[in-house]
Structure 1
Amino acid sequence: MKMKMHKCNSCNVYTIKDVCPSCDGDLNVIYPPKYSIEDKYGKYRRKLKEEAFDK
């Protein structure tokens, strides 16, 4: 299976194309984080999410 999401090394733009649309730079494949039952940073993500909804 080929990953569709790419990120440009030079301008940090996300795209699904084979070449960066803004600068024609090299692209890296973006992989999702691994799933873990023991979520080390879960409490921090939840805290940031609560703060975002409070504003």
Structure 2
Amino acid sequence: MKSKIRVCSSWKSNHDSPLYTLSDQCPICNSPAINSSPAPFGLEDHYGEYRRRILRRKSNQ
């Protein structure tokens, strides 16, 4: 499924904040607009061991 909301690809250099649009180009600077969806979520929790270790320390105190 492709996201319909897009963000200006050069918003960091041309705008103060992210500029969202539904078109393929930025309405202000005419740069290409890119998909604004976040990175895919992975089921592997790479930092889970460390997070659980901290929770155990807090519960033992």
**TM-score, structure 2 as length reference:** 0.43
The structure that is helix-richer by fraction is 2
Higher Cα Rg, which structure? 2
**TM-score, structure 1 as length reference:** 0.45
